[in-house]
Amino acid sequence: MAEQRNFPANLLRFAKQSKGILALSVLAAFCGVACGMIPYFAVSAMIVGLMNGGADMEGMLPLFLWALAGYAGRVMLTAASAIMSHKAAFSIIRTIREDMSRKLARMPLGDVMRMPSGKLKSLMVDTVEKMEAPLAHIIPELTSNIFIPLGIACYLFVLDWRMGLAAIATFPVGVLCYMGMTKDYGARFDRVRQAGRDMNAAVVEYINGIETIKAFNLSTRSYAKYVGTVEKNCEVMTDWFRSCSGYFTAGLAIAPASLLTVLPAALLFYSRGSLAPSTAVVCVILSLGLIGPLIQALEYTDSLAMMGDTVSDVCSLLDAPELVRPSRRADVRDDSVSFDNVSFAYGRDNVLHNVSFSMKEGEITAIVGASGSGKSTLAKLVAGFWDVGQGRILLGGVDMQSMPLAQSMERVAYISQDNFLFNTSIRENILVGKPGAADEEIVAASRAAACHDFIMALPFGYDTRVGDAGRQLSGGERQRLTIARAMLKDSPIIVLDEATAFTDPQNEAHIQKSINNLVKHRTLLVIAHRLSTIMHAARIVVMDQGRVSAVGTHAELLQWSNIYRQLWGIRTGSDLTQGEGATAYV
């Protein structure tokens, strides 16, 4: 609710860079509405002249030209205002989307990954897009449509205060009818917004999961969920319009009906001799242009409410907690990694408790443990997905939180079984590791990652598009491309979070070869589902329910760690099914 109360301040926060062009747009709109009132004054003068019998063509021509000039001025100034306001609106929307993209980069990556993709898509695309119309129209038009009628009303009161009251008499009645919509407005509008969000999330989920839906014959059930959210959105929107339409129609009909009061008043006062004919004519004609702009201003009520909610949603993301890091690069002494009494929690659920161990430069450290013991959380903390809750993670003797985020990201390459490729060429996907790298570097990284041969066998080689999320390639091919990307990045610290967990035997040999090339002379933290692959690690950390149970070599842990012996007993059988060719990290 704080964002709602600070709606104007938050809006100005986004419009800061466009305030100049917005001010010009408001000025143009103001002058346009003022020009639009000139024909009313000109027509009034014509009628008064005709009534006084002193009108001729020579006298009427200037008034006609004034009326024409006023109409032309309104058209041109309104168009100029619209052009400037739309330019400002799109500039503001671009700024908001850029700010949101930069914000996501500064937020803990784990927090971003926990956000439903449908919600993020809806927020960054659909929700922000809704700001275009209000920004382009409300700011200039609302301003001009309020102040010009106020000026005319003041002029009417100067001419005859009784006619001024008569001219505005229907407007408060129409506003009261219009305000009938405001009953439970917030709650009803929240239901409309939530229904729209649920529908967007269901649409994105249905599209992203279409392969699984078809594979498991879930089409009917999943489609029913999708249809249900669409029907719910339709039902809520229908109820919304049904509850508002009566009040809106009544307000729209009554508020501008100023002739119902102005004409009888003018006739009454004229018949009593208290109102001059010329004044009566001017008041009647000006009253016709008095309420229209105010009605148009009232029509922005829904847009203002939507605008407030949209700004609130955007601010909720932009004000989310960030990874707080300094801007000055730190001096690191080596490529070691140390955990110093690290504790961490997802929300209120503690998953790590006072974890301490060290990884020496150029050595392999493996983390093993049962599912849920905290292995992947440790890996993601080193990769910078989150800041630790308590304790420190030291890179080269420097606390990660004491170095810029970009520096820590440069020093660590993270590879997991969840590999993602962008829907662009293979070359551009590999270049993510080092933007601007030469073709020779790309080929060298691809050869080292054992993927050059299969790339050259594709129709367009390195220029082949990989499809949405890399779906044109097999899982093993995608994994090798992500390793090539890490090769090109050339980070001194490598984190492998079960990188070959779901790989088929045919691809595993290629992936294992590429990983072995990747980790040479680097500090390696590896989480492996096959213990045979980490037998020769310099150090194995055994995790148990978020705590370090034991640290040692394979031989040492088999002697005095019950948990490791149990894991080895469980894993050995499955590893042996792979034959004697299980390849260790070297």
DSSP H helices in 255-322 = 259-271, 277-288, 291-298, 301-318
Q: In the prediction, which pLDDT does 569 show?
A: 78
Q: In the prediction, which pLDDT does 541 show?
A: 92
Q: In the prediction, which pLDDT does 352 show?
A: 92
Q: In the prediction, which pLDDT does 341 show?
A: 93
Dist CA 144 CA 74 (whole Å): 12
CB 462 within 8 A of CB 425: yes
- DSSP run (H or E) holding 368: strand 364-369
Quickly name the fold that domain 2-169+258-318 has.
ABC transporter transmembrane region fold (1.20.1560)
For residue 7, which phi and psi values (nearest 5 degrees)? -55, -50
In 3D space, the residue among 365, 360, 372, 358 whose CA is nearest the CA of residue 547 turns out to be: 372
Query: And the tokens for 502?
Result: 């779901």
Domain pair 2-169+258-318 / 337-581, same fold: no
Dist CA 575 CA 568 (whole Å): 10
Q: In the prediction, which pLDDT does 5 show?
A: 46
Long-range contacts, stretch 246-253, CB < 8 angstroms, 24+ apart: 246/180, 247/177, 247/178, 247/179, 247/180, 247/181, 248/178, 248/181, 250/174, 250/177, 250/178, 250/180, 251/174, 251/175, 251/176, 251/177, 251/178, 251/179, 251/180, 251/298, 252/174, 252/178, 252/295, 253/174
CATH superfamily of domain region 337-581? P-loop containing nucleotide triphosphate hydrolases (3.40.50.300)
In a 3-state reduction of DSSP, which class is residue 191? Answer: helix
What burial class does residue 61 get, using C-beta atoms within 10 Å of its C-beta: 0-12 exposed, 13-18 middle, 19+ buried?
exposed
Domain ranges (residues) in the chain? 2-169+258-318, 337-581
Dist CA 246 CA 240 (whole Å): 11
Dist CA 37 CA 445 (whole Å): 71
Q: In the prediction, which pLDDT does 547 show?
A: 92
Strands 398-399 and 547-552: unpaired
Dist CA 373 CA 366 (whole Å): 14
pLDDT in tens, the chain (586 residues): 444 445 666 666 677 777 788 888 888 887 887 787 788 778 777 877 777 766 666 778 888 888 899 889 888 988 888 888 888 888 888 888 888 888 887 777 777 777 766 677 777 877 787 777 777 777 676 776 777 777 778 888 888 889 889 888 888 888 788 777 777 766 777 788 788 878 877 777 777 777 666 665 666 565 677 788 888 888 888 887 787 778 778 877 887 788 888 889 988 988 888 888 878 888 887 787 777 777 777 666 666 666 777 777 788 788 888 777 888 888 888 889 999 999 998 877 788 999 999 999 888 899 988 888 888 889 889 988 888 888 999 998 999 988 888 888 888 888 877 777 888 888 998 888 888 888 888 888 888 888 888 889 888 899 988 887 677 787 778 888 888 888 888 888 988 887 655 455 555 666 666 667 666 778 889 887 667 667 788 899 999 989 999 999 888 998 888 888 888 876 655 443 344 444 454 4
User: If you ran DSSP here, which 8-state letter would residue 72 be given?
Assistant: H
Q: In the prediction, which pLDDT does 326 show?
A: 84
pTM score, whole prediction: 0.61
